[in-house]
Copies of this chain bind each other. A is one copy, B any other.
Amino acid sequence: MAEHAATGHAMHRLATQLFPITRSLTGPGYRRTLELLEQVTGTMQRHRFASGERVLDWDVPKEWTIRDAWIKAPDGTKVVDLAQSNLHVVGYSVPVHRRIGLAELQEHLHSLPDQPGAIPYRTSYYHEAWGFCLSDERRRSLADGEYEVSIDADLKDGAVELGEVVIEGAGDDEVLLWTYCCHPSLANNELSGPVLAAHLARLLRERETPLRHTYRIVFAPETIGAIAYLSRFGERLREHLVAGYVLTCAGDPGAFTYKRSRRGDALADRVAEHVLAWGDEEHRVVDFVPVGSDERQFCSPGFDLPVGSLMRSMYGTYPEYHTSLDDLSLITPQALGESLRAYVRIIDALEANETLVGTVLYGEPQLGRRGLYPRTGGPSDALSAGRQRDMMFLLSFCDGSADLLAAAQASGRPLTELAATADMLRSHDLLRPV
């Protein structure tokens, strides 16, 4: 736990390093981001999808490079400048360099009247357009006259690119930790996701106890990245994925929110809810809705994968969301560390959960012979009363039809403690995996 707190500071430093990079779905800023993350995760596999490639129902977009973008007022001063904030230009804007009147300019401006000091985040990935985002205060101060607008960008054939870290486990089952890193200069949604994923990758890589499941930690642009990944690897996920989570909005100090998968009772859901129920984090659980982030793609009805999302304040529910107010001050080392700890506990639970079956199913095993029963019929002298209760419960419950998590729920006990007693019973050959 102290370790996770320390890691929280490293996570926040990484976010600080990534924050100023001019990122989008594609392009040099996005690639630079993957490289910096790779310094934490270790080598990533790269998956490339060329512009124009058909991925499921979608077409891979061109690659966008933005070099400069500004608006000069009639008096020649720059009133909007990409150098001041990455959010000032609408993502995927086509290049433009013109002089236009204020009225026409207004059609290309985006601001938030309800949050007059905030710059909104806007994109136009799949419809050719250009535009600027600015605070409503700034917008209202613009005087009549002729403005010069310049967006120095190009849209060329290139590639959408994903980075994947694979930590191999002993079995065939896979766990997906998915995050996206296409938003520029936004901290909670989204940099908290990639820095959390990177540090989970590092912890898994360095883990001493052997893993039962294979963990795939994937960094991608939102939506098109998930679509592209599913087009290439969706069948494998359908066969092997036992649980997945979309990592996002994990850095603010708000209460936790677990958003269930479309199935609602998948292992991913059962484990996350069990961990939250037995933890001390304030939290709420919400059902799947097909708005949000990449869980929409994983949970699309054809795939219907067991993918949920454990967040702090959920996207769309906090006022700073998708504005310049979602900056580095919104995320804290402590909150990042807590999120890391919660995901580590989820991973621990996924690793501990198995379906076991007793070796003596007809009548109770004779525990006395094995030194597992109090010798004179009074209170136990060999095992604590709680341990003995768990032992009896497991010997009765484990008929091979349900997993340890179901045992934990049925007995009102935390999975990790029950799993420790199960390990003890396995060492006495009284339980075995199905």
Residue numbers of A with Cβ under 8 A of B are 55-59, 90-91, 110, 120-127, 129, 131, 223, 226-227, 230-231, 234, 262, 288-291, 296-297, 299-304, 322, 358, 360-366, 368-369, 373, 375-378, 389, 392-393, 395-399
B289 touches A362 (CB 8 A): no
What are 28 inter-chain pairs, A to B, with CB distance below 8 A?
A: A56-B363, A57-B364, A57-B366, A59-B366, A120-B378, A122-B377, A123-B376, A123-B377, A124-B375, A126-B369, A129-B376, A230-B362, A230-B363, A234-B362, A262-B396, A289-B392, A290-B364, A290-B392, A290-B396, A291-B392, A297-B364, A299-B396, A300-B361, A300-B364, A301-B398, A302-B361, A302-B363, A322-B377
Determine how close the nearest CB of chain B comes to the CB of A95; give it in whole angstroms.
17
Determine how close the nearest CB of chain B comes to the CB of A308; give it in whole angstroms.
14
A290 touches B362 (CB 8 A): no
Alpha-carbon separation in the docked complex, A121 to B376 (Å): 9
Determine how close the nearest CB of chain B comes to the CB of A112; give it in whole angstroms.
9
Dominant SS among interface residues on chain A = loop
Alpha-carbon separation in the docked complex, A15 to B223 (Å): 63
A56 touches B360 (CB 8 A): yes
Contact of A363 among B127, B226, B392 (CB under 8 A): B226
Alpha-carbon separation in the docked complex, A223 to B367 (Å): 12
Closest to A388 in B: B291
B360 touches A393 (CB 8 A): no
B363 touches A396 (CB 8 A): no
Contact of A301 among B125, B303, B399 (CB under 8 A): B399
List the 9 shortest-distance A-B pairs measured between CB atoms, nearest first.
A302-B361, A290-B396, A301-B399, A126-B368, A302-B362, A56-B363, A290-B392, A122-B376, A57-B360
Determine how close the nearest CB of chain B comes to the CB of A325; give it in whole angstroms.
16
Q: Which residues of B contact A375 (CB under 8 A)?
A: 124, 127, 129
Alpha-carbon separation in the docked complex, A375 to B122 (Å): 9
Known: A363-B303, A368-B125. A110 touches B376 (CB 8 A): yes
- Which of A90, A125, A365, A366 has the largest count of B CB atoms less than 10 A from its CB? A366
Could you list 4 further interchain pairs (A-B, Cβ under 8 angstroms) beyond the known A290-B392, A302-B363? A56-B360, A57-B360, A57-B366, A126-B373
B361 touches A58 (CB 8 A): no
B362 touches A56 (CB 8 A): yes
Known: A231-B363, A303-B363. A122 touches B297 (CB 8 A): no
A366 touches B262 (CB 8 A): no
Alpha-carbon separation in the docked complex, A360 to B231 (Å): 13
A90 touches B364 (CB 8 A): no
Closest to A373 in B: B126
Q: Which residues of B contact A301 (CB under 8 A)?
A: 358, 361, 396-399
Q: Which residues of B contact A392 (CB under 8 A)?
A: 289-291, 296
Contact of A377 among B121, B262, B369 (CB under 8 A): B121
B368 touches A296 (CB 8 A): no
Contact of A389 among B291, B304, B358 (CB under 8 A): B291
Determine how close the nearest CB of chain B comes to the CB of A257; give it in whole angstroms.
19
